[in-house]
């Protein structure tokens, strides 16, 4: 006699092509508790034998916020925050609780998401992303060249490289930068083309994932680095393959505006 499969309920959401699975971490307590949450995340994020996603936002209750989230990348590594993933969680809370101002505790601190628009299953939020830490220009030595870029922290590490155009093999260069011993905690790499005072085009290569269609914290890092270098002025539209997000700076605070769409809900068979 066959036993019923053990299932993990999930919601899938996408923010500008950056897709995440939203899972209640309470499901992992008791009999469902896996020995290795990293292995489970890799399995469920697999695009051929799992559901497929850039990462999982593991959600849990928080005493002073609407939710607390823990981000695990598709390769099983932990990350402090994803701006796009946080926006996906905000869309989930908005849909289920009809809230328009949402507080989410992340690994990079408390983030407040304010609903600015909605159309069916798509939600637009502006997130208070906090202060950016912009470092001095850093030269990274690669096998055949040296690359100059701007290190930025948005609660997670970024390295912003300004280029005249996006090269065909930019992913190879970004991956080599990511492996540099300069970045002991790993790094998210942005290749940025400045299109004007309020527009940049960016390609993203993220820790634990590789190339992504978009990035929330990466958009903030790209915009603030461009502003710090005098290449742009607030507000900055960040154009990526997955869509456009807007970053503005008010005093030292960064604000990120963009959409998130609830895609589907389902059950992942654990056994």
pLDDT (tens digit per residue) in 67-121: 999 999 999 999 999 999 999 999 999 999 999 999 999 999 999 999 999 999 9
Does residue 152 surpass a pLDDT of 90?
yes
Once rounded to an integer, what is the mean pLDDT over residues 241-264?
96
Question: Of 172, 180, 205, whose CA–CA distance to 73 is shortest?
Answer: 205
Provide the pLDDT confidence category of residue 34 given band limits of 50, 70 and 90.
Answer: low
Question: Of 110, 77, 99, 30, whose CA–CA distance to 210 is shortest?
Answer: 77
Number of H helices, E strands in the chain: 4, 18
Q: Where are the alpha helices (DSSP H) in the chain?
A: 37-45, 83-97, 170-178, 216-228
In CATH, which superfamily holds the domain spanning 7-129+259-269?
Diaminopimelate Epimerase; Chain A, domain 1 (3.10.310.10)
Sequence ranges of the domains in the chain = 7-129+259-269, 133-251
Q: Which two tokens mark 64?
A: 């002073």
Give CA–CA dist 105/46, Å, rounded. Answer: 27
The CATH-assigned architecture of domain 133-251 is Roll (3.10)
């Amino acid at each position: 006699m066959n036993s019923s499969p053990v299932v993990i309920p999930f919601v899938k959401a996408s923010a500008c092509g950056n897709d995440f699975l939203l899972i209640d971490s309470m499901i992992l307590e008791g009999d469902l508790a896996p020995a290795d949450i990293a292995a489970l995340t890799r399995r469920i994020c697999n695009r051929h034998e799992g559901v497929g996603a850039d990462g999982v936002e593991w959600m849990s209750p928080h005493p002073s916020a609407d939710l607390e989230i823990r981000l695990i990348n598709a390769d099983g590594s932990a990350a402090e925050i994803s701006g796009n993933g946080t926006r996906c969680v905000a869309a989930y809370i908005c849909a289920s609780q009809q809230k328009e101002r949402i507080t989410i505790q992340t690994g990079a601190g408390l983030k407040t998401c304010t609903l600015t628009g909605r159309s069916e299953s798509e939600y637009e939020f502006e997130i208070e992303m906090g202060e950016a830490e912009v470092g001095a220009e850093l030269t990274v030595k690669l096998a055949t060249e040296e690359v100059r870029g701007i290190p930025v922290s948005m609660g997670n590490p970024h390295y912003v490289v300004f280029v005249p155009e996006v090269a065909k093999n930019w992913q190879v260069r970004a991956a080599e930068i990511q492996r540099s011993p300069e970045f002991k905690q790993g790094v998210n790499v942005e290749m940025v083309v400045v299109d004007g005072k309020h527009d940049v085009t960016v390609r993203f290569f993220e820790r634990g994932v590789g190339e992504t269609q978009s990035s929330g914290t990466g958009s903030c890092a790209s915009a603030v680095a461009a502003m710090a270098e005098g290449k742009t002025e607030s507000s900055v539209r960040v154009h990526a393959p997955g869509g456009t997000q807007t970053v503005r700076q008010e005093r030292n605070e960064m604000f990120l505006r963009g959409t998130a769409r609830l895609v589907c809900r389902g059950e992942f068979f654990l056994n």
